[in-house]
Homo-oligomer: A and B are copies of this chain.
Amino acid sequence: MDGIHDLGGTDGFGTVPHHVNSQSYKPVFHEPWEHLAYSLLFLGADHLKTFNVDELRHAIERMEPRQYLAAPYYDRIVVGTASLYVEKGVLTQAELEALAGGAFPLARPQTEGRAARPTRSHFEVGDEVIATRDFIRGHTRMPKYVRGKKGRIVHRTSVEWPFPDAAGHGREALRQPTYHVSFDAKDLFGDGAEASSVVVDLWEGYLEKAGAPNV
């Protein structure tokens, strides 16, 4: 989905709040509740198998955009995780609100998602490809800044993973390799682009051979 989370290339944000090598990164967590975010996420995703991590990413993307932008990082993990426990029937929002002693807003409703297209032949390193022009209402891991853009494959993964546009909706998902696709930064962001290239890791189903019609 073209959600508020798809931030690559968005203008208007200020300086990154960090000066290099100025932090020890200890302690890892800054608030006594923060470790619960990932722990309870992995409880559901790994131990209980209530949901998968793609669904968690999508639950966070489904947060009301104002809530998403206002919430600190681990708050978003808590909201996404809680949303899935509720959607899967493990907990209810009423239970959570009673225990929290106040409102506990969850993610907005799901859409359907989509299946991966049937497997085709793989691409090879060096191939020119186009990121599809698809506008996906549900979960996708193709950032909008590459939509319709031409790039070149620099690596094909030796492992295959579930297609996230299906897995993120709890659907049966075909496994596909992903490709590290190198895009000329000027093709993505015009003359002001400051990198030589941006490499994006894209599932096979997000790609088409360059030179195909309508690209």
Contacts and interface: CB of A to CB of B under 8 A. Distances in A.
Interface of A: 1-4, 9-14, 61-66, 68-70, 108, 133-135, 137, 189-193
Nearest to A11: B1
Given A3-B12, A13-B65, A69-B69, 13 more contacts: A2-B11, A3-B10, A4-B4, A11-B137, A12-B61, A12-B62, A12-B65, A14-B64, A14-B108, A66-B69, A66-B70, A135-B193, A137-B192
Nearest to A4: B12
A1 B9 CA distance: 10
Closest A-B pairs by Cβ, 5 of them = A135-B190, A1-B11, A3-B12, A2-B11, A12-B65
A133 B63 CA distance: 31
B2 A9 contact: yes
Contacts of A13: 64-65
Nearest to A138: B11
A9 B4 CA distance: 11
A65 B61 contact: no
Contacts of A135: 189-193
Contact of A10 (B4, B11, B66, B193): B4
A12 B133 CA distance: 19
A176 to B, nearest CB: 21
A210 to B, nearest CB: 15
